[in-house]
Amino acid sequence: MEDQSSTSAPSIDPFKLLKIVQNPDGSLTRQSLFPSVSITEEESTGSNASQLAFFKDIPLNPQNKTFIRLYRPPTPPPNTNHRLPLLIHFHGGGFILFSATSRPFHDACSVKAVKLPAVVLSLEYRLAPEHRLPAAYDDAVETIMWVRDQAMDVNGCDPWLKEYVDFSKCFLIGSSAGGNMVFHAALRALDIDTSPVKIIGLIMNQPYFSGVERTESEKRFVNDRILPLPANDLMWSLALPEGADRDHEFCNPMTADGFLKEKMGRLTRCLVTGHGGDPLIDKQRELVKVLEARGVDVVAEFAEGGCHGIEIFDPLKAEALLKSVKEFVDTCCRCVNYESAAAKSTL
């Protein structure tokens, strides 16, 4: 993508770009940018990505209209002792757009289920501004607790999870706003007894963070075609709690107090990926530095060029991201296996 830098004031109408209209009551009318994949397609035939994995929808919180879309590979593990990691996925969209059923996110989850292989759980969380943050984080934590209850067989365990999943090998994964959710859900999970579920890896692809002070990359890509500053600012104004600015810890945890920064140091292994053509790249690099300074094991992969959400538009970038995720998941799982074997040898 060519350099979108500009020293002039942004001239983009963010409402038109995002295809949203704000109603008098504060809610949004959204014109879908991506088609939705219905559950009935699971039984259809075809060669697209949605047919790679079996999937089904499970209610999470009917009152909040949240649900889980669960994916599993069509071929069972080779033996009963070989169970699969569980990826808990949060979709992107600046907290105001899209769904777990939106085609790009649905297809990506299907591919991961087959190619890793893994069981993938994708959350349909509440969107802002109808449900401002921390509603999405609350839904993410409720999902983790649901998985814990499944692992404990509380009121029964879903057959797919019971047959395929190794609950000691769970990951949180998300892109853009979903990457932000990974970070904040993981911090909240530190205060919860999730046993026997163990979250052993956090995967944040182009995580969505910003701040009041403009970074150099934000200024350089002020009129970016994918995420121009006016759209970024609008999404945060709709997502953050009423009266909060972009230095709120939900948006800019790097300015958080000492207590939150102490918690950051207790996070598990992280994979953070980004692209040089993303206006948010500087904030993502800043996050990596903060985590590393607190002793977190971080794998940082920042590529040249590209744009925000490039894996949606470029199959080669999507393939590269999948390779990075697979390597990270495999490495984390090997570490768990090694630690478990070492612990047994000392008994």
**Contact of 174 with 223, CB cutoff 8 Å:** no
Q: Is 278 a catalytic residue?
A: yes
* Residue 176 designated active-site: yes
Q: Residues with Cβ < 8 Å from 24, sequence gap 6 or more?
A: none
Which member of 158, 166, 278, 282 is catalytic?
278
Both tokens assigned to 67? 């649900």
Q: Which two tokens stand for residue 343?
A: 């612990």
Is residue 308 flagged as an active site residue? Answer: yes
List the 66-72 sheet strands across, edge first.
Answer: 54-61, 66-72, 119-124, 84-90, 165-175, 199-205, 270-275, 298-303
Cβ count near 232 (within 10 Å): 22
Query: One of 176, 184, 248, 275 is an active-site residue; which one?
Result: 176
Q: What are phi and psi of 196, to 5 degrees?
A: -90, 5
**Pairwise CA distance, residues 163 & 157, whole Å:** 9
Contact 198/167 with Cβ under 8 angstroms?
yes
Catalytic residue numbers, as ranges: 176, 278, 308
